[in-house]
Structure 1
Amino acid sequence: MQKQEVTIYDVAREAKVSMATVSRVVNGNNNVRKETRDRVLKVIERLHYQPNAVAQGLASKKTTTVGLIVPDFSNLHFAELSQGINDIATLYKYNILLSSVGNTLVGDDHVIQNLLNKQVDGIIYMADQISEKGKETLLRSKIPVVLAGTLSENKETFGSVAIDYKKAVEESLEIFYQNGKRNFALVLNNPETYLSSKELIPAFNQFAQEHKLSNNHVYSDISTYEDGYNLVDQLRQDKIDAVITLKDMTAGGIINGALEKGMTIPKQLEIISAGSTNVAKLVNPQLTVVQQPLYDIGAMAMRMLTKLMNNETVEDKNIKVPYLLLRGKTTL
């Protein structure tokens, strides 16, 4: 026979106080006399009462729960980001509700709304894309939101922790240029919804303009290994000789597709990726990468969120962290 759960009503009856008094004791409200508080605490201990976290949240308007949104549970990039977030959440005694919006953005607004319906105190958004409807839902929610690993368009509203993508693009293109390459490509998913596009694309175009380069392309809707593999014919047709990707798996697809079609890497085609996953070490030839400190980004994002949720002062809501450019075998 299942043991009956002890309720707040049982504690109130045994301590001969109201349920409101028990609630005040449990939530640390000082407006309770010492002798009453001691009596209630003794009953709680004797009955092994475990306060209901949801009920506490409704009473205090805080649930000590944060929503964590990722695009893809299987992507190693987001796994390492999540570890940093989880460690800080555990340190500050926050629970995490994990949700995935998928790579297509279908229903991202629904996912966000579901978390809001669960009364989360804040949201960390790790997905690198967001629909206009999803963005509007977050803005309307009025709860703290921090982007981890991507840049915020709404710098006054959303916090963000990410690398300096503009600088990373400029440094990558300079490597290509110094190696004699002149026909560059930037490979993204959807620039309209990609959160960092407003820094990446202008930096890409500005470099081309300053160096008087005319044959440069931004390829959209490219996010998987297969997409990268299938892109190779277009790269050859456009005479592209250097590529920046943001996903290591996509870079792996480009490498294998290029090699199968008889191209030499890096002599004919150079590649730099900013995915920061172990895939970069597994592909052959090994990728040159913009190495992001993913664990640190996640940890810093969660720490910022704890401050915002507790109305603490946050001097800089849009933090750019250092990165390393590690040379592999896909650049000269």
Structure 2
Amino acid sequence: MTVTIYDVAREAGVSMATVSRVVNNNPNVKPQTRKKVFEAIERLGYRPNAVARGLASKKTTTVGVVIPDISNAIFAEVARGIEDIANMYHYNIILCNADKRKDKEIRVINTLLEKQVDGLLFMGGAVTDEHIQAFNTSNVPIVLCATTDEKGTIPSVDIDHELAAYDAAKRLLSEGHRRIAMISGTLQDPANGFARYQGYKRALEEAGLSVDEELVRIGNYKYEAGMEAAHHFIGLSERPTAIFAANDEMAIGAIHAIQDAGLKVPEDISVISVDNIRMASMVRPQLTTVAQPMYDIGAVAMRLLTKLMKKESVENAKVVLPHELIIRQSVASV
């Protein structure tokens, strides 16, 4: 049978109110009494009813996190940052994978809100009108993590994706490259796709170059997409001297495709990307990439959410964290 607070009170010889104070870490309990209650809890195997406590306080100390692709290593690092700060402030996390499908994202958002979470973190992916509509039905704070909404009305933590891509393309230009291909994400993705394409385009235009559509391929951020795009570039009558991939996983796929074709990176084709996942330093040659502070994005987003949940003052609800170009061995001069 389920052990109740009444059973603990009877076992310890105290009132139910005293047991409640002990369970909720109320300081107004004598150490000797606290010890008796804890001993009774241990003997009986009592577990406080979180649902009942939540009904009483109207708080569940639970935060919902929507992750677009649990198999993507970069989101694992964001999730670690979220979890560490959540633990620090005594919040539990419900992590939901949405498989990068808008219909599933909307369903997961609504499910988490039905679970009476105290706050919601939406990680990555495009924020559409349907997302905004779902968010607007919520009476709890919401923070966007590693993405932003087009109008900038929802609190968010991210990097400047256009500037990150611009810096990557500028690095190739500074090494003398002029025929630079891009493996882009979908242009419907405002951050990893469209913004990074815009950064690439701006860098080329500033150098007096126009975007050659033959040198742009759209990928889905997966390794196989990088391989496929690189095979296309290698087969052109005039292949590019460098490839800029919108993320590391596609860049690693491109490196392997180049090597499979009997060519060398960076001697024949240089490769650069954005993200700096762990595999970027494991692949050979090691990948030059623009590092996102993924752990910090998760940690800062969770801290911002705790402030909003506690109705604390927030000076800046739209946080843009710095990125960093990590120079390794996959880029050479021409």
TM-score by length of 2: 0.81
* 1:173 paired residue among 140, 158, 169: 169
**Among candidates 121, 126, 134, match of residue 124 of structure 1:** 121
Whichever residue aligns with residue 6 of structure 1, its letter is T
Counterpart residue number, 1:59: 56
Matched residue, 1:305: 305
User: How many residues are treated as equivalent by the alignment?
Assistant: 322
Distance 1:166 1:65 in 2: 34
1:141 aligned counterpart, secondary structure: coil
Superposition pairs for residues 1-332 of structure 1, below 5 Å?
A: 3-7=1-5, 48=41, 50-130=47-127, 132-157=129-154, 159-197=155-193, 199-217=195-213, 218-236=216-234, 237=236, 239-332=239-332
* Distance in 1, Cα, partners of 2:239 & 2:25: 68
**Following the alignment from structure 1 to structure 2, what is the Cα–Cα distance between the partners of residues 136 and 186?**
34
What is the letter of the counterpart of residue 167 of structure 1?
A: L
Shift in alpha-carbon separation, 1:51–1:44, aligned structure 2, 3 A = farther
Change (3 A) 1:310 1:198: farther
Q: Secondary structure at the match of 2:275?
A: coil
Change (3 A) 1:57 1:191: farther
Unaligned runs of 5+ in 1: 36-40
8 Å contact from structure 2 (residues 184, 197) kept in 1? no
- Closer/same/farther in 2, CA of residues 224 and 148 from structure 1, 3 Å limit: same
Structure 2: give runs of 5+ residues left out of the alignment.
none
**Are the counterparts in 1 of residues 120 and 142 from structure 2 also a CA contact under 8 Å?**
yes
Question: Does the CA contact (< 8 Å) of 1:109 and 1:131 recur in 2?
Answer: no
Q: Deviations over 1:17-49 (max 9, x none)?
A: 9x9x998998899xxxx99xxxxx999768646
CA-to-partner distance for each residue in 1:259-301, whole Å, 9 max, x for gaps? 2223332244222122321110121211001122222222111
RMSD after superposition: 3.5
Change in 2 beyond 3 A, CA 1:162/1:124:
same
Identity percentage over the alignment? 35
Deviation at 1:90, TM superposition (A): 0.6
Q: What's the TM-score, normalizing by structure 1? A: 0.82
Q: Is the 8 A contact 2:100 2:125 kept in 1?
A: no
Q: Is the 8 A contact 1:11 1:43 kept in 2?
A: no
What are the superposed Cα offsets for residues 110-167 of structure 1, whole Å, 9 maximum, x if unpaired?
111111111111112223345553343124324222222334434222x222223232
Q: Distance in 2 between matches of 1:6 and 1:65?
A: 23
- Per the alignment, in what secondary structure is the counterpart of residue 325 of structure 2? strand
111 and 286 in structure 1: CA distance in 2 versus 1, 3 angstrom threshold: same
CA distance in 2, matches of 1:189, 1:321: 21
Question: Does the C-alpha gap of structure 1 residues 216 and 316 become closer, same or farther in structure 2, counting only changes over 3 Å?
Answer: farther
Q: Deviations over 1:51-80 (max 9, x none)?
A: 422222233322110011222323321222
Q: Find the aligned partners of 1:181 and 1:139 in 2 and give their Cα distance.
A: 47
In 1, the alpha carbon distance for the partners of 2:65 and 2:274 equals 22
String of CA shifts for 1:86-120, please: whole Å, max 9, x gaps.
Answer: 11111100000011011344512111111111111
Does the CA contact (< 8 Å) of 2:180 and 2:241 recur in 1?
yes
Q: Is 2:77–2:294's contact at 8 Å kept on the other side of the alignment?
A: yes
State whether residues 8 and 19 of structure 2, in contact with CA within 8 Å, keep that contact through their aligned partners in structure 1.
no
Q: Distance in 1 between matches of 2:227 and 2:194?
A: 26
SS at match of 2:306: helix
Alignment CA distance shift 1:140-1:240 (3 Å): farther
